[in-house]
Amino acid sequence: MKKVAAALLCAVITSGCAHSVSGTAGASPLDELSPVQQRHVAVEDALRAADPCGLLDEAVVRQSGTVLQFGSAVQLPVCSVLMVRPGGATTYVELSLLPSMLSDTALTGPDTVDGVTVYRGAGADLARGTCERVFRLNLGPLQEQVTPQLATVRAGTVAGQDACPLADAVLGSAIDRMRSGLPARDPTSPHQVALAVHDPCEVLDVLRTTAGGRVVDPESPPTPFDCVLFPNPNRVPGSEVTVSFTMSPVKENRPPVPAEPETIGDRCRWTSPMGEPIDITRPGAGVDEFTRRLGHAGAVVTVRGPNCAAVARVADAANTAFG
């Protein structure tokens, strides 16, 4: 169980990661951004609003075993499910709306399923018991105006077994479920944290004219759970502050909100749990403690930048906006 849970964690961690944004800075409000910057923001809004678990049909994965865990406990744009099969072997599936580090082979084997572009990749990796499929997301009216946004389905089981039939079943169901658009997040859902429906740039609604607006680089991949902004109206390059949403396993005692940002090298950082945690392990599920802790997680807001005073001010705004 622990090996499969660890494999799931590693797979999910490589499915999406934050990156710093550099390039042409766009001001807030949105009507001051260029059309290409506005489309970039619109893609981020669409990806943030979409529920990855809404594309992962539990009825489909139940055909492969009893569901032990189901939800978005490791990363916000990822839904994962852990199952145990009748013989005792464990199997996992994760669906990511924001995959990164896709290999060249992952984008081979192009196909079309119900009008949706799919990449079947290298097929089953029997040595690892894994399989990956890549498909294009349906962004509705944005679809023909922006770079194709890709999602992944990754399945894994014990070594020597073919996980591709399960990956293909989940893929087919996801394509069917997004036929009329991506499913929307529900802030009351037990499989995701309430913070997931928020935009980290909502801190600008609190800071108002004391900040210099958001930074939008349309040449960078979308980062729907990051907001890069100028903390002051003078918009000095190099002064940017980043607000990020992530997930973190809940330890015995959740850390208190720090009074001041901490200094790390030449940077400042403020990190705080935000909102109630979720527990995606099903009642009575026979999982080990390591696996159980992976499924008990909460949202974390991080503010980082070069100036501690600016980070502290944005952190106060984050507490107001999301606390």
> How much is the pLDDT for 227?
98
**Residue of higher predicted confidence among 173 and 23:** 173
Residue range 103-136, pLDDT digits in tens: 899 999 999 999 999 999 999 999 999 999 999 9
Q: Are residues 7 and 140 in the same domain?
A: yes
* Same domain flag for 255 and 299: yes
- Identify whether residues 313 and 206 lie together within a single domain: yes
Same domain for 170 and 208?
no
Mean pLDDT of 182-211: 95
Which helix (H) or strand (E) element contains residue 9? helix 2-13
Of 6-10, 36-40, 67-71, 296-300, which gets the smallest average pLDDT?
6-10
Does 298 map to a domain?
Answer: yes
The reported pLDDT for the residue numbered 92 is: 96
Confirm whether 241 is domain-assigned. yes
Task: Scan for tokens 């506005």, then name that residue.
Answer: 38
Of 61 and 258, the one with more pLDDT: 61
CA-derived radius of gyration, the chain: 20
* Structure token digits, residue 80: 């994962």
Do 82 and 200 fall within a single domain? no
Using the 3D structure, point to which of 177, 205, 230 is the last residue of a domain. 177
Q: Residue 102: what pLDDT? A: 87
Question: What pLDDT does 5 receive?
Answer: 47
Average pLDDT over residues 189-217: 95
The number of beta carbons lying within 10 Å of the beta carbon of residue 256 is: 8
The string of pLDDT tens digits covering residues 245-282 is 999 998 755 666 667 899 998 899 999 999 999 999 99
- What tokens does 272 get? 């705080």
Question: Between 263 and 19, whose confidence is greater?
Answer: 263
Give Cβ neighbours of residue 230 (< 8 Å, ≥ 6 apart): 25, 211, 212, 213, 214, 215, 236, 239, 240, 241
In percent, how much of the chain has pLDDT > 70?
A: 88
Within this chain, do residues 109 and 212 fall inside the same structural domain, yes or no? no
> Residues 143, 251: one domain?
no
Q: Is residue 36 part of a domain?
A: no
Are residues 167 and 231 located together in one domain of the fold?
A: no
Statement to judge: residues 152 and 198 lie in one domain: no
Domain residue limits at 81: 2-19+50-177
In the three-class reduction of DSSP (H, G, I as helix; E, B as strand; rest coil), residue 30 is classed as: helix
Q: Confidence class of residue 233 from pLDDT cuts 50, 70 and 90?
A: very high
Position with higher pLDDT, 258 vs 21: 258
The three-class DSSP label of residue 249 is strand
Distance CA 116, CA 254 (A): 43
**pLDDT given for residue 18 in this prediction:** 35
**pLDDT at res. 86:** 86
Residues 134 and 246 in one domain: no
> In this structure, are 138 and 219 located in the same domain?
no
With contact defined as beta carbons under 8 Å apart, do 191 and 278 qualify? yes
What is the pLDDT of the chain when averaged over all its residues? 89
pLDDT tens per residue across span 79-89: 999 999 988 88
Q: Of 129, 144, 177, at which residue does a domain stop? A: 177
Helix, strand, coil tally for the chain in percent (to 5)? 30, 25, 45
Whether residues 169 and 231 fall in one domain = no
> What's the average model confidence in pLDDT over 49-65?
95
> What's the number of domains the chain is made of?
2
> 27 in a domain, yes or no?
no
Whether the per-residue pLDDT at 22 is higher than 90: the answer is no
**pLDDT value of residue 87:** 85
Say how many residues make up the chain: 323
Is 183 among the domain residues?
no
Residue 39 lies in a domain: no
Q: Evaluate whether residue 287 is within a structural domain.
A: yes
DSSP line for 268-285: EEEEEEEEEEEE-BPTT-
d(CA 79, CA 73): 8
Q: Return the HEC string of 129-187.
A: CEEEEEEECCCHHHCCCCCCCEEEEEEECCCCCCCHHHHHHHHHHHHHHCCCCCCECCC
Tell me, what's the pLDDT at 9? 45
Look at residue 67 in the predicted model and tell me its pLDDT.
97
245 within some domain: yes
Instruction: Look at residues 124, 152, 177 and tell me which one is the last residue of a structural domain.
Output: 177
Which helix or strand (DSSP H or E) is residue 267 part of?
strand 267-279
Q: How confident is the model at residue 155 (pLDDT cuts 50, 70, 90)?
A: very high
- Using an 8 Å Cβ cutoff, are 105 and 120 in contact? no
Average pLDDT over residues 90-95: 96
The predicted pLDDT at position 30 comes to: 55
Report whether pLDDT(209) > 90: yes
